A and B are shown apart, each in its own frame.
Chain A
């Protein structure tokens, strides 16, 4: 038996060597239909994702539209030096990190709390109606959310301020003054994502063995002990993984959200890197400078995401790639 299996092992190994020594032509002929199918997505990715990457070289050139892509002069890191020297640049980096960090503190924790609360509800119908309403903002565009925000929070005629005034308070410039704007921006983000963010936690919770709860009850655990000692540990892996992946995105932009909520009075915290790219490049026509700052963001973002993925993998979960 042993000899036989050993010989068959040798045989499969030999086969593998043989297979590997076959040329690309063999596989192309055998699986030509698969490669033909792949040609369609491949051409799209090459044209619309990889070709633009070559455009990044204008970050190292003094791009003039009249001279064109090839005719413009090479300037090395000159454009980057100009960008780094601008006060707008420091502010944009600060704002990008600030908005994302605040999201991490509030938008990340709120779904965990909501999921724990939803998990405590035993009526299926109550749960389903709540979930349907809580998921709703996820399906609205940022333009719509921005419009609703101004309808509700405007200083002059927003309904929230009307209510505040009715109760004897003073009108608050929720969206028209820098510090208040920052708070509103974060709060609206929580509102938009808190329901949708519960899905993964609820899925993890539904996988908890009911015997764990029963054992906890036998041990005399009340509601909060069960949450603390059974539910939370069961979703710990999900929490940690999502936290790390979100840390990796701390340099990413949320252009549509910022643009829909900002206005001319609140540029202090709303000028993120992407807003600068838009303003310098598409509105101002300075393509080199806009590309340089965009490239800076993309490279730092890539490093952070890969680092986050490495950490998540080391913790024993499947990574992103």
Chain B
């Protein structure tokens, strides 16, 4: 009896061996691979043109300057794109949450007649859709092309998020709690507002972030729907034209005195668009991990 317990204790206090070191080394390499590309681009964005052209910048700025950022903040079209992205993300998240709550609460009530058929109707959209062209024609017919509503309305219903909220509401909220509220005379609106929603705060936070980050980083629909009215381009689409396609140049306030290196400007654009995500990332990561696991329960 005593011998195995002894080995156990010994093994728990096991020495840090060569394999531990090797495993940690591999993990550090993988983590640095995720971090260093951003560090390099950030360093470039703060470096002066000469050093960048000479390929001298690695992981620290050389000839520190914020000239490129001054140009970004002088470019009205980039700032406007940022504003459009913020506006669209806020409206989209609000609408998405309202729609998801309005679908998830009724569908999580066992007494709802036709629950199965309705759930199928909602979830089928995960597996089959009209596709790019039919969606585009709908936007055209509704007159939503080149409006911010084309970026808000079509994607605001997400079957995946509905699935997460529905299973959370039917698992975490005891039916007896609802019943006692009904005996006290509360209707469904009342129950939803004063019992279910306050109890669902963590999942509400998670899904709001899913909606918000998903909207912030997407650019496909904007590429399709925002064509003529260039003022309505969200930030990611603006970046696509500016950096990837390089078909647009920076609108500089004054006439260009010095010829600047586009690489530095591109780098600073990347950082400008990434900083908002980086700022909130440490705080939202935990909600995302929880959400990913909740989604897998049913997937």
Contact = CB atoms under 8 A, between A and B. Distances in A.
Interface string A52-66: 111110100000000
A55 B134 CA distance: 5
Contacts of A194: 30
A170 to B, nearest CB: 15
Given A55-B133, A55-B134, A132-B282, A137 B34 contact: yes
A47 B282 CA distance: 37
A118 B134 contact: no
B188 A33 contact: yes
B102 A295 contact: no
B244 A114 contact: no
B292 A200 contact: yes
A132 B289 CA distance: 11
Interface of chain A: mostly helix, strand, loop or mixed: helix
Q: Bin chain B's interface residue count.
A: 35 or more
Contact of B270 (A148, A298, A318): A148
B157 A49 contact: yes
A225 to B, nearest CB: 13
Contacts of B269: 147
A143 B239 contact: yes
Interface of chain B: mostly helix, strand, loop or mixed: helix
Nearest to B154: A48
Given A34-B112, A260-B244, A281 B133 contact: yes
Q: Bin chain A's interface residue count.
A: 35 or more
B128 A302 contact: yes
A136 B289 CA distance: 12
Interface stretch (B69-77, B86-94, B273-281): B273-281
A52 B137 contact: yes
21 contacts: A24-B113, A37-B102, A37-B103, A52-B135, A55-B138, A56-B130, A120-B19, A120-B23, A130-B28, A141-B217, A143-B237, A147-B239, A157-B55, A191-B33, A217-B11, A256-B218, A256-B220, A274-B132, A282-B132, A291-B133, A306-B127
Interface of B: 4, 7-8, 11, 19-20, 23-24, 26-28, 30-35, 37-38, 40-41, 44, 52-53, 55, 57-58, 98-100, 102-103, 105-107, 109, 111-114, 118, 120-123, 125, 127-138, 153-154, 156-157, 162, 187-189, 192, 213, 216-220, 223-224, 236-237, 239-240, 243-244, 263, 266-267, 269-270, 273-274, 277, 281-282, 285, 288-289, 292-293, 296, 298-299
Interface of A: 24, 27, 31, 33-35, 37-38, 40-42, 44-45, 47-56, 58, 69, 114, 117-118, 120-121, 126, 129-130, 132-137, 139-144, 146-148, 150-152, 157, 159, 162, 191, 194-196, 199-200, 203, 214, 217-218, 223, 245, 255-256, 259-260, 274, 277-278, 281-282, 287, 290-291, 294-295, 297-298, 302, 305-306, 318, 320-321
